[in-house]
A = this chain, B = another copy of it.
Amino acid sequence: MESTAAYLERLRPEGGKRSSKRDLIVNVFLRQEGHLSAEDLVDLIRQEDQKISRATVYRTLQWMVDAGIARKVDFGEGRFRFEHSYRHPRHFHLICKTCNTSSEFLSSDIEALLEEVAAARHFAARQSVLQIYGTCEACRTGRRPPAAPVPTDVLFARDALRIAIATERSGLEFYARAARTTKNAHGRRVFRKLAEEEQEHLGTLERRYQALLAQHPELESWPTFLFFKGAANGLFAAGADELSRGVDDRQALRIGIRCERGSHRFFKRYGEQFEDSEGQRIFLEFADEERNHLDLLIREYRALAGRRTAKTRQAAAPRAKATRRAGAARKRGRP
């Protein structure tokens, strides 16, 4: 995992000079978890160095924002707060007006809808700010939230893994069922192979999830950070549903392709947008895995469609539609 020192070295702008003051401010800032106002940070700094000027803190904050180390956030309080990007993915905020705390979440579904809105208006979106104001659970019930805070990137990784696991699990179920129901011997082999691959991926993911849990024992007590309906709950579940209504091997393959494509997109989206830390590695790896599934499915689909086309060409001939679809699938596959 990348250290704060390596992270800073990577982001430090060209032509700047080192300075012990700035280093102190940056280090104190990166040690914090929450959303600090400039004043908060001045107070923290003053605990270690009485003489640092407010102006220097402001200037250093601006420097960090320019370098991409910090993000300036506006909770409508009439002043800005700052959060660091180190091991801290992009996110939205829930802001409690009672205790003035904020918690974070990310929703892939919302992000997708935002993109659609921007596209419909021909608007080149660069950044989205989403804040839900209200009262948090702790303030309404009096219960205190769990003690030790978990870094956001860990929550992100946890949820990404959960989504991946759920996806692979329903994928496994889907292919296992397909293997059971198909009458065609080759089809059975294909689906069984796919089911085995899913089984293996599933094992890898579950081990990784357990490892993450071992590192952060309280991890599971924290609420969902990353919301996403697109993969497991949406696509694969619908696919399994369609399957249970009885489809042929070709349709089953097509459903599989649709599902794998959806989850590949999900992992790619978040892998690419990750600025730092473990997250990017995990996600791009998942994206690759999904891509491999997709390729396999497309190859199989192509072969199956070809065989069918040949067979039906001998008998009657109304399979043109299926052949065209196979052609479209080929175009989207690898060369």
Contacts and interface: CB of A to CB of B under 8 A. Distances in A.
Contact of A134 (B109, B116, B124, B245): B124
B227 A113 contact: yes
Interface stretch (A53-61, A125-133, A192-200, A312-320): A125-133
Contacts of A134: 118, 123-127
Contacts of A331: none
A133 B72 CA distance: 14
Nearest to A139: B124
Interface string A149-174: 00000000000000000000000000
A334 to B, nearest CB: 31
A137 B121 contact: yes
B110 A114 contact: yes
A133 B128 contact: yes
Contacts of A94: 117-118, 121, 123, 125
9 contacts: A74-B74, A94-B118, A103-B121, A107-B113, A114-B132, A121-B136, A122-B140, A122-B141, A126-B134
Contact of A132 (B97, B128, B136): B128
Interface of A: 74, 76, 94, 96-97, 103, 105, 107, 109-110, 113-114, 116-118, 120-137, 140-141, 223-224, 227, 245
A57 to B, nearest CB: 18
Contacts of A113: 107, 109-110, 113, 227
Contacts of A103: 121
Copies of this protein, total:
2
A122 B125 CA distance: 31
B118 A125 contact: no
A228 to B, nearest CB: 11
B105 A117 contact: yes
A110 B125 CA distance: 17
A219 B150 CA distance: 50
A126 B97 contact: yes
Contacts of A131: 128-130
B133 A130 contact: no
A1 to B, nearest CB: 27
Nearest to A115: B132
Contacts of A127: 132-134
A93 to B, nearest CB: 9
A223 B121 contact: yes
Contacts of A223: 120-121
A122 B96 CA distance: 12
Nearest 3 A/B pairs, CB to CB: A122-B137, A125-B134, A126-B134
A94 B119 CA distance: 11
A227 B129 CA distance: 18
Contact of A120 (B122, B125, B128, B224): B224
Contact of A140 (B97, B124, B140): B124
Given A113-B110, A116-B227, A121 B105 contact: yes
